[in-house]
């Protein structure tokens, strides 16, 4: 089981689910938000792990491509000492998040890639529709996701 939600920061310690967000993005170069990631009832990412959400998703997309090719991947949040690691193990992937505490969960790799790719594709497509976002700004991420989903 996997649960993925993206939140956009709308105020001090206030977040809104991105799927319900239809307002102006104030600073398109620094879009703050978070990802909630729950794998097999293990919460790996939560709303208080805030970062530049478009950059975090772009990094995770790169990670999805790496694990699809059976390569290990790790990335860090830009603004917090949080590391995300994806390690392929046979038909599964071990997802680890290390902040103050290391949390990890094992999930079927194909299922993980499919679920994460679909959510990321939704995120980038919706984000591309906001009027202050430069046209084609996220085109490389969208094309990369389309390749991953094949």
For the chain, domains (ranges, CATH) are 2-149 (2.30.31)
Angle between helices 139-149 and 53-68 (to 10 degrees): 30
The whole-chain average pLDDT of the chain stands at 92
Q: For the segment 70-107, what is each residue's pLDDT rounded down to a tens digit?
A: 999 999 999 899 999 999 999 999 999 999 899 999 99
Q: Which residues pair with 77 in a beta bridge?
A: none
The pairs formed by 74-83 with CB atoms below 8 angstroms and a separation of 24 or more are: 77/49, 77/51, 78/51, 78/52, 79/50, 79/51, 79/52, 80/49, 80/50, 80/51, 82/49, 82/51
pLDDT digits (tens, 9 = 90+) for 26-48: 888 889 999 999 999 999 999 88
Cα(44)–Cα(107) distance, rounded to whole angstroms? 12
User: Can you give the pLDDT at residue 30?
Assistant: 87
Those residues with Cβ within 8 angstroms of residue 143's Cβ, 6 or more apart along the chain or in another chain: none
User: Degrees (nearest 5) of the Cα angle 102, 103, 104?
Assistant: 125
* pTM of the model as a whole: 0.93
First-to-final CA distance of the chain: 22
């Amino acid at each position: 089981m996997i649960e993925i939600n993206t939140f956009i920061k709308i105020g001090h310690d206030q977040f809104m689910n991105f799927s319900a967000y239809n307002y102006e993005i104030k600073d398109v170069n620094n879009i703050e938000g978070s990802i909630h990631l729950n794998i097999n009832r293990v919460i790996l990412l939560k709303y208080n792990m805030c970062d530049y959400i478009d950059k975090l998703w772009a990094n995770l997309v790169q990670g999805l491509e790496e694990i699809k090719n059976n390569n290990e991947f790790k990335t860090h949040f830009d603004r917090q000492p949080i590391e995300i690691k994806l390690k392929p193990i046979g038909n599964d992937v071990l997802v680890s998040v290390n902040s103050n505490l290391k949390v990890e969960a094992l999930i079927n790799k194909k299922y993980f890639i499919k679920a994460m790719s679909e959510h990321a594709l939704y995120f980038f497509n919706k984000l591309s529709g906001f009027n202050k976002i430069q046209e084609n700004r996220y085109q490389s991420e969208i094309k990369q996701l389309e390749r991953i989903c094949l």
